[in-house]
Amino acid sequence: MNDSAPVLAIDGPSGAGKGTIARAAADWLGWHMLDSGAIYRAIGHASGAKDLDLSDAEAVARCAATTRIEFRDPGDGGDTRVIIDGEDATDAIRTETAGAAASAIAALPEVRKALVDKQLAFRRPPGLVADGRDMGTVIFPDAAFKVFLTASAAERAERRYKQLKAKGLDVTLASLLHEIELRDARDASRTVAPLRPAADAVVIDTTGQTIPTVVNRVLAVVQTA
């Protein structure tokens, strides 16, 4: 960890385009990248694999503290691989079931606490682009650059639908919209680290905007600061 490395925090609800935008911004800036959602998904997945009761805060927090999560660049320009305790779980953590498990365990304060240091460790020179829900509010409150990405629920469901279909997964738009609305409500209403923009975040509504347009608006936050 290096407290002086600059951080660009990109927060927002699921499907707002954070992953794509954060990756593009990190590539452009030459900074490291933290996909904090993948960490919550990995712990949701690992807890499920161990047959833990997802509402058992102590058991899941223990799992969060002891599970090894590695992010590996495949080196061929493909997606970052997510390795959980030595096993490649990249595809497994992207299912809607894993997303729902992530959202459930993310509501447990003990689990969030157990994952703080894992996330802080990503802050290294020359800088970090941190993608999540509470990057600018809780994990990196001193981040120099903070963006909150939003989009309408209908557009976010449609984006997710296209992504999952492209991966050959069998999903319906209606069920995705329902899932997204449920997850938004849970993420926004939980008592610990609820989803909300930091007071000093630049809020960008990405509804109807192209990826390059949004990337440019995010990079402008870094460059004009």
Residues that bind ligand C5P (CB under 6 A): 14, 36-37, 40-41, 99, 102-103, 106, 132-134, 183, 187
Min dist CB 157 to ligand C5P, Å, is 13
Q: State which residue, 31 or 40, has the beta carbon closest to ligand C5P.
A: 40
Sign of CA dihedral 59, 108, 176, 38: negative
Min dist CB 187 to ligand C5P, Å, is 5
Instruction: Give the number of other CB atoms < 10 A from CB of residue 126.
Output: 11
Is 6 in contact with 127 (CB distance < 8 Å)? yes
Kindly give, in sequence order, each residue whose CB lies less than 8 Å from that of residue 163, ignoring residues fewer than 6 positions away: none
Residue nearest to ligand C5P (CB): 37
Q: State which residue, 112 or 127, has the beta carbon closest to ligand C5P.
A: 112
Is 208 in contact with 155 (CB distance < 8 Å)? yes
Q: Is 69 helix (H, G, I), strand (E, B) or coil?
A: strand
Helices (runs of H) and strands (runs of E) counted in the chain: 9, 8
Q: State which residue, 42 or 221, has the beta carbon closest to ligand C5P.
A: 42
Min dist CB 165 to ligand C5P, Å, is 17
Min dist CB 224 to ligand C5P, Å, is 26
Q: State which residue, 64 or 106, has the beta carbon closest to ligand C5P.
A: 106
